[in-house]
Amino acid sequence: MNEPLVPIRAALLREVSPGWARALREDDDGPLDVDAARRQHHAYAQALLRAGVAVAVLPADERQPDCCFTEDTAVVLGRHALATRPGAASRRAEVRPVVDALVGLGCIVHRMAPPATLEGGDVLRVADVLYVGRSRRTNNAGIEALARVAALEGLRVVPVELGEQMHLKGAVTLADAGTAVVDAALLDPAVVEGWGLAVVEAVEPVGANVLALGRGRVLVPAVAPVTAHRLRERGLTVRTVEGSEIHRADGRLTCLSLRIPHAGGWCA
Ligand code: CIR
């Protein structure tokens, strides 16, 4: 298959919840700031719009503090999509509004049943392979559920063992179809080279999560200037976006959107 990584057709976002102060996070470094999160979320949406992405922003729910992290609620593979069952039980109610939006966009949405859990932050697509983190949030039954839907699109699933980090895409993402950005403290770069990708090592802790925009363009967190420099040196067009408040709730660039590719292509 090996279709091209294409510019993103559409991205589903959700506003930052008024309940942002209660977002899940591993380190409590003081109260979260909902206004800062909203400003950064808006800047992210603008960056996608400037890249030619059709952005749809769903309304937030006060009872769903993490609802802006739409990536975790579904995996879109083409016509078929999988609605996830997040490993974080407090996040399961986030799935329904995203599924409704995907159905409205013409996707055939499949469900997963208990005890399966999976979060989209654990799924990295590279052409016709889905690398899936086996993590605290994604279990074997979740990986099997994904494999069944992936097969409908002619894709195969390769599990990746994770250590203590939350999601696979905190450790590795794609900058373009052939280049991965890897946090060597979280995942051995040799593993990613074994996938046939060139590796750029991220220097800053959140630098490994970048968003490939297609046509050699990549969105990089502003808090990762050295990683951004390394990507520019490889000839990529780098845009940066401020996400410091989002990162305080363990959010990364990719988790703020659910990307939908143009027909016949894929996005990371
Ligand atoms: C959580 O703990 O679930 C959220 N506070 C952060 C989710 C980040 N999602 C992602 O990286 N895909």
3-state secondary structure 164-200: CCCCHHHCEEEEECCEEEECCCCCCHHHHHCCCCEEE
Residues 170-182 pLDDT 10s: 999 999 999 999 9
Q: Is the CB of 125 under 6 A from ligand 1?
A: no
Q: Are the beta carbons of 238 and 218 closer than 8 angstroms?
A: yes
Average of per-residue pLDDT values in the chain: 95
Q: Which of 26, 27, 69, 173 to mutate to test the pocket of ligand 1 (most atoms within 8 A of CB)?
A: 69
pLDDT at 1 over 50: no
Does residue 153 surpass a pLDDT of 70? Answer: yes
Q: Whose CA is nearest to atom 10 of ligand 1?
A: 255
Ligand 1 atom closest to Cα of 120? 12
Stretch 116-123: mean pLDDT, rounded?
A: 98
The pLDDT value recorded for residue 142 is 98
The pLDDT of residue 3 is 53
Ligand 1 atom nearest the C-alpha of 86 is 3
> Burial, 15: exposed, middle or buried (Cβ in 10 Å; 0-12, 13-18, 19+)?
middle
Taking the CA of residue 88 as reference, the ligand 1 atom at the shortest distance is: 3
The stretch 197-224 carries a mean pLDDT of 96
One DSSP character per residue, 120-171 reads GGGEEEETTEEEEEE-SS--HHHHHHHHHHHHHTT-EEEEEE--SSS-GGGT
**Could you tell me the pLDDT band of residue 88, with boundaries at 50, 70 and 90?**
very high
Calculate mean pLDDT across residues 13-17: 98
Average pLDDT over residues 97-121: 97
Given a contact cutoff of 8 angstroms between Cβ atoms, the answer to whether 101 and 58 are in contact is yes
Average pLDDT over residues 6-21: 94
**Stated pTM of the model:** 0.96
d(CA 206, CA 40): 16
Question: What's the confidence (pLDDT) of residue 164?
Answer: 81
- 112: pLDDT confidence band, cut at 50, 70 and 90? very high
CB atoms within 10 A of CB 239: 15
Percent of the chain with pLDDT strictly greater than 90 = 91
Ligand 1 and 66: CB distance under 6 A: yes
**88 C-beta closer than 6 A to ligand 1:** yes
**Residue ID of nearest Cα to ligand 1 atom 7:** 251
Q: Give the DSSP H/E element, type plus range, for residue 260.
A: strand 258-261
**How sure is the predictor about 212, in pLDDT bands with cuts at 50, 70 and 90?**
very high
Q: Is it the case that residue 2 has pLDDT exceeding 80?
A: no
The DSSP element (H or E) to which 47 belongs, if any, is helix 34-50
Q: Are strands 8-14 and 54-58 parallel, antiparallel or unpaired?
A: parallel
Average pLDDT estimate for 120-148: 97
Using CA atoms in the order 14, 97, 209, 10, what is the torsion angle rounded to 10 degrees?
-80
SS3 237: strand
Predicted confidence at residue 163, as pLDDT, reads 82
pLDDT at 185 over 80: yes
Band of pLDDT at residue 205, cut at 50, 70 and 90: confident
167 is catalytic: yes
pLDDT at 26 over 60: yes
**Mean of the pLDDT values across residues 48-77?**
97
The reply to whether omega before 7 is within 30° of 0 (cis) is no
Distance from C-alpha of 49 to C-alpha of 54, rounded to nearest angstrom: 6
Does residue 107 carry a catalytic annotation? no
